[in-house]
């Protein structure tokens, strides 16, 4: 694989108390460094801005929030999030990063799409890792539906990625709902033409907040490359997928 897009979910980036999970950022930055050293161009799509904003303002996740409140939290949290990415990627691992904030509209307008494409290609050619998030302040629907999985699929198509890797805090796509059957097994390979039954399952299952399987299935549906769903906490998860051709979770192709 020469070019990959990696999406990192909120559950991996934040702790139960709302603070950013710095150990995870440290782990993932050294994993990306390894890809970098193997000349794999990498784009990261990150969530976590809203959660980081909550942490910063010491707000409780259980308190109901309006869309505008979430957008304001993202504005607070995004800079905090990028500061941490800068610390672990740029300062500690010498991997230069760039902040890229996009909205769904950017993919619908030919000019903005072309500009985004050109800039991402230029950054990758310079061995910079773009850290993409939605521009939550101006976006509405996507933020409401927690759809960085979909954003990541669009980015993967735009840069012509070989793989899209959706990192989450579960091991992959389950054959049955794991809440109902704790012995439910991971599905190793899914044919993208047969997503219907998984959509039906995901529709019935509660999303548990961020990182639900429905948006991952949607990402698989719209992406033109193979999609991995894997546990971001797993050891060397990126090297396994990208450098060793292994499948630690589920692959949809
Ligand atoms: N863009 C949102 C954030 O950074 C998250 C969207 C999602 O989790 O899919 O907080």
Average pLDDT of span 141-146:
64
Kindly state if the Cβ of 252 falls inside 6 Å of ligand 1. no
Which atom of ligand 1 is least distant from the CA of 53? 10
Kindly state if the Cβ of 120 falls inside 6 Å of ligand 1. no
Kindly state if the Cβ of 76 falls inside 6 Å of ligand 1. no
Q: How confident is the model at residue 110, as a pLDDT?
A: 95
Tokens coding 161: 């990625």
Average pLDDT of span 209-216:
69
Count of beta carbons in the 10 Å neighbourhood of residue 20:
21
Q: How far apart are the two ends of the chain, measured CA to CA in Å?
A: 15
Which atom of ligand 1 is least distant from the CA of 147? 9
Ligand 1 pocket test, candidate residues 13, 79, 133, 214, most atoms within 8 A of CB = 133
Average pLDDT of span 29-42:
97
Kindly state if the Cβ of 47 falls inside 6 Å of ligand 1. yes
Rounded CA gap, 165 and 210, in Å?
16
Q: How confident is the model at residue 209, as a pLDDT?
A: 38
Rounded CA gap, 174 and 153, in Å?
21
Beta bridge partners of 97: 129
Res 139 pLDDT > 90: no
Rounded CA gap, 212 and 149, in Å?
9
Count of beta carbons in the 10 Å neighbourhood of residue 206:
9
% of the chain exceeding 90 in pLDDT: 73
Report whether 113 contacts 157 (CB < 8 A).
no
pLDDT in tens, 152-176: 999 999 999 999 999 999 999 998 8
- pTM equals 0.94
The residue ranking higher by pLDDT, 202 or 111, is 111
Residue nearest to atom 6 of ligand 1 (CA): 146
pLDDT in tens, 71-93: 999 999 999 999 999 999 999 99
Kindly state if the Cβ of 11 falls inside 6 Å of ligand 1. no
Kindly state if the Cβ of 78 falls inside 6 Å of ligand 1. no
Closest to 50 in 3D by CA, of 21, 70, 25, 22: 70
Rounded CA gap, 247 and 249, in Å?
6
The CATH number given to whatever domain includes residue 129 is: 3.40.1160.10
Which atom of ligand 1 is least distant from the CA of 51? 10
CA of 59 to the centre of ligand 1 (A): 17
Kindly state if the Cβ of 159 falls inside 6 Å of ligand 1. no
Q: How confident is the model at residue 208, as a pLDDT?
A: 40
Kindly state if the Cβ of 147 falls inside 6 Å of ligand 1. yes
Q: How confident is the model at residue 181, as a pLDDT?
A: 81
Q: How confident is the model at residue 178, as a pLDDT?
A: 72
Res 210 pLDDT > 50: no
- Any alpha helices (H) in 128-245, and if so which ranges? 141-144, 148-159, 196-204, 213-222, 237-238
Report whether 32 contacts 236 (CB < 8 A).
no
Query: What stretch of H or E contains 89?
Result: none
Number of domains in the chain: 1
Chain-centroid distance of CA 138 in Å reads: 19
Q: How confident is the model at residue 206, as a pLDDT?
A: 47
Kindly state if the Cβ of 219 falls inside 6 Å of ligand 1. no
pLDDT in tens, 101-129: 999 889 999 999 999 999 999 999 999 99
Determine the structural domain holding residue 233 and report its residue range. Answer: 3-252
Average pLDDT of span 186-194:
95
Average pLDDT of span 17-37:
94
Q: How confident is the model at residue 204, as a pLDDT?
A: 56
């Amino acid at each position: 694989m020469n070019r990959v897009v990696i999406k990192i979910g909120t559950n991996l980036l934040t702790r139960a108390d709302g603070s950013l999970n710095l150990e995870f950022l440290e782990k993932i930055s050294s994993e990306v460094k390894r890809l970098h050293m193997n000349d794999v161009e990498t784009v990261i799509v990150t969530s976590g801005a809203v959660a980081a904003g909550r942490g910063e303002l010491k707000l409780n996740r259980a308190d109901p929030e309006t869309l505008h409140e979430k957008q304001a939290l993202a504005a607070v949290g995004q800079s905090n999030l990028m500061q941490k990415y800068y610390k672990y990627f740029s300062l500690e691992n010498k991997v230069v990063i760039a902040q890229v904030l996009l909205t769904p509209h950017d993919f619908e307008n030919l000019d903005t799409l072309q500009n985004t494409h050109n800039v991402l290609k230029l950054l990758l050619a310079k061995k910079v890792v773009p850290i993409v998030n939605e521009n939550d302040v101006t976006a509405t629907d996507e933020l409401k539906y927690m759809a960085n999985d979909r954003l990541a699929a669009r980015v993967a198509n735009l840069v012509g990625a070989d793989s899209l890797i959706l990192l989450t805090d579960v091991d992959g796509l389950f054959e049955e709902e794991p809440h109902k059957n704790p012995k439910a097994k991971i599905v190793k390979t899914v044919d993208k033409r047969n997503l219907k039954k998984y959509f039906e399952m995901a529709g019935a299952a509660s999303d548990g907040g961020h990182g639900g399987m429905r948006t991952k299935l949607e990402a698989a549906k719209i992406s033109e490359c193979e999609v991995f769903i894997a546990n971001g906490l797993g050891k060397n998860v990126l090297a396994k997928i990208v450098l060793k051709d292994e499948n630690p979770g589920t692959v949809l192709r």
